[in-house]
A and B are shown apart, each in its own frame.
Chain A
Amino acid sequence: MHKYILRRLLMMIPVLIGVMFIIFVLDYIRPGCPSRVILGEAASPEAIARVREELRLDDPFLIRFGSFVGNALTLDFGRSWQTNRPVFQEIFARFPNTMQLAGMSVIFALLMGVPLGILSATKQYSIFDIIANFTGLLAAAIPNFWLGMMMVILFGVNLRIFPTSGWGTPMHWVMPVVAIGASSAAIIMRMTRSSMLECIRSDYIRTARAKGQKESVVIFKHALRNALIPVTTVAGLTFGALLGGAVLTETIFAIPGLGRFMVEAISQMDQPLVQGGVLLIAISFSLVNLLVDILYAFIDPRIRSQYR
């Protein structure tokens, strides 16, 4: 098990170098000169030459990429072109808010999706099942940023139940978390339902029922534990979507997180911030996926035996 985790962590390194390469190339091909972004259009040629020298913009491509990777390894992403503060500091001041938002959304999605999925599977073709399925399809179709805006209009502006922007108190959390988590909840619900249906029809469930086991034990102990494995995968995968969704939702609710910060950085062409932010999100996404894979081992002994 330890060997497996170590191996997976080692495998993250080439992937992350690849991500850095993409980020770097995207910056490289971008039209416009960084020194103009930093100094403004009216800068003198001497000042521009000095900044170009400072940022080593005239070095060959591979040397620049090498030093970018080297610096990134020591968590040095340079300084923001707008505020001139270290990128690492800027990002880490905001990252916890984004992680908190994404984390709460995952929990919300699981709390909504799994029970509704179980209920829908155990009462297949009932009116509840049909309504839940239809709502699920609908929720999966709604763009999260639009849902956020509609909630602001309804609950924030008209009914005045929740604050329309900001972060910090539980009242601030409700709308963004629901907005981001709704479509994931729908996906998890549908996954739980189909996975549960498959389990309920299997032989060991018939055996459990035949030996006179209580229905609740059959569902929650025998069926659910087996049905949850694919649900775990989906939950892990949607975490990436949730992190991405946080970017848009933070903009709507003016949440001081990494997403909104990066959108601002992009519009101000503040490249070091964008690079650091994308990399940090890629790292956390990869770690979450690793965590999900490790989680399998705890849920399913069959998979545990394969991790060697």
Chain B
Amino acid sequence: MENQKPKKKRSQFLEVWRRFKRNPIALVGMGIIILQILLAVFADVIAPGDGWSPGFNMQDWGNSRQFPSAENWFGTDHLGRDVFNRIVHGSRISLQVGAVVVSISMIIGVTLGAVAGFFGGVADNIIMRIIDIILAVPNILLAIAISAALGPSLVNVMIAVGVGAIPAYARQVRAQVVSLREQEFVEAARSIGASNFRLIRRHIMPNAMSPIIIEATMGFATAIAVAAALSFIGLGLEPPTPEWGAMLSDGRRYMLAGYWHMTLFPGLAIAFVIFGINMMGDGLRDALDPKLRSGGMSKGRFEKLRRAQIALTNKGADTNVKK
């Protein structure tokens, strides 16, 4: 009898971690992200300033456009600044942009999606039509249009990139909530008098978290890429901010003259981080939902979404016709 201890319930987090750490690719991805965070935190130690200017803006005009050497690992740019130093400091900007964009767009998108899915009807129709409008403009173009109107600054870049990221969350969450709200445990909670807010927060959202976490991970990568693209065409941050996209923009001016290092290294930095995030995201997807295989939606899931979309389209069209 004393051997029959109650089996300890494993927390879901530990369960996911156990599955996650079995995946070597995902671990490599996580390693890249951790390296990135360390670079950002210790940027001033790795690439210190000289007292007058910060480490990313130490100009040395006599030493400009030098190719990589033992002195300057990644060479120097047109103002004689060390490219390696700037990349190290740039990781701060990228992580900042990624984190803020994901947080903003996730909060707004999840709220919109939950409201649309839970209440249905008019709220659903209005919210999803707004989402359709945002989706009708390609992501980068929307970001370009917004940041062109708002002007270049870190906050504006975050807003510009964040707006385009909202629909993905809203749609994911809506689909989840629609399928969850009719479940028995929600019905049970409702019948003992739980409020709508409590139903969403305590009973529905915890069951809809996995796709949101995956979306957020991938969204982090997209945010970094779009922000870099904005800076590249001059709509991002003001110089001398060591933004990787802005560094590429500098590199483009000297590209035809053969100064390849000004282009190669900032781009590698972007690709490296996005690569790491994608690998980690793939691993997370497998760990959070073993039914889904990496590499996109499973066919069954796709069919379900597709049918839901057609049903929605027909419904939306009907209401339009009635008007």
* Partner-B contacts on A (CB < 8 A): 7-8, 10-11, 14-16, 18-19, 21-23, 26-27, 29-31, 137-138, 140-143, 145-146, 149-150, 152-153, 156-158, 164, 187, 190-191, 193-195, 197-199, 226-227, 229-230, 233-234, 240-241, 243-245, 247-248, 251-252, 262-263, 266-267, 274, 278, 281-282, 285-286, 303, 306-307
Contacts and interface: CB of A to CB of B under 8 A. Distances in A.
Contacts of A14: 129, 320
A233 B302 contact: yes
A102 to B, nearest CB: 10
6 contacts: A137-B278, A157-B256, A198-B299, A230-B299, A247-B233, A248-B140
B137 A157 contact: no
B251 interface: yes
B115 to A, nearest CB: 19
A233 B306 CA distance: 10
B211 interface: no
Contacts of B151: 31
Interface in B244-302: 248, 251-252, 255-256, 258, 260, 263-264, 266-267, 270-272, 274-275, 278-279, 282, 293-300, 302
Contacts of B258: 153, 157-158
A198 B295 CA distance: 12
Contact of A145 (B248, B264, B293, B316): B248
Contacts of A22: 133-134, 137, 145
Interface of B: 129-130, 132-134, 136-141, 144-146, 148-151, 221, 225, 228-229, 232-235, 248, 251-252, 255-256, 258, 260, 263-264, 266-267, 270-272, 274-275, 278-279, 282, 293-300, 302, 306-307, 310, 313-314, 316-317, 320-321
Nearest to A14: B129
Contacts, number: 179
A146 B145 CA distance: 21
A199 B137 CA distance: 33
B148 A266 contact: yes
Contacts of A193: 295
B189 to A, nearest CB: 34
Contact of B320 (A10, A197, A198): A10
A157 B316 CA distance: 53
Given A19-B136, A143-B270, A150-B264, 11 more contacts: A22-B145, A143-B271, A146-B263, A146-B267, A146-B270, A149-B251, A152-B255, A153-B258, A157-B258, A233-B306, A263-B233
Contacts of B297: 194, 230
A240 to B, nearest CB: 4
A248 B248 CA distance: 12
B78 to A, nearest CB: 16
Contacts of A278: 137, 141, 145
A187 B150 CA distance: 32
A149 B267 contact: yes
Interface of B, secondary structure class, is helix
A277 to B, nearest CB: 8
Contacts of A191: 295-296
Contacts of B228: 143
B252 A245 contact: no
A74 to B, nearest CB: 21
Given A141-B221, A146-B267, A153 B255 contact: yes
Provide the main secondary structure of the chain A interface: helix
Q: Which 4 A-B pairs have the closest CB atoms?
A: A18-B133, A146-B267, A244-B140, A194-B295
A194 B148 contact: no
Contact of B271 (A8, A142, A251, A267): A142
Contacts of A158: 258
Given A26-B146, A141-B274, A234 B140 contact: no
Contacts of A152: 255-256
B233 A18 contact: no
Given A193-B295, A194-B294, A149 B248 contact: yes
A26 B136 contact: no
Which of B150, B275, B296 has most chain A Cβ within 10 Å? B296
A8 B313 contact: yes
Contacts of B320: 10-11, 14
A281 B295 contact: no
Contact of B252 (A140, A143, A149, A230): A149
Given A11-B316, A278-B137, A282-B136, A252 B148 contact: no
Contact of A18 (B130, B149, B294, B295): B130
Contacts of A252: 252
Given A143-B228, A198-B298, A244 B141 contact: yes
Given A22-B133, A152-B256, A241-B138, A190 B296 contact: yes
Contacts of B255: 149, 152-153, 157
B306 A303 contact: yes
B133 A306 contact: no
A243 B266 CA distance: 24
A87 B256 CA distance: 32
A90 to B, nearest CB: 17
Contact of A230 (B248, B302, B307): B302
Contacts of A8: 313, 317
A142 B278 CA distance: 11
A23 B146 CA distance: 9
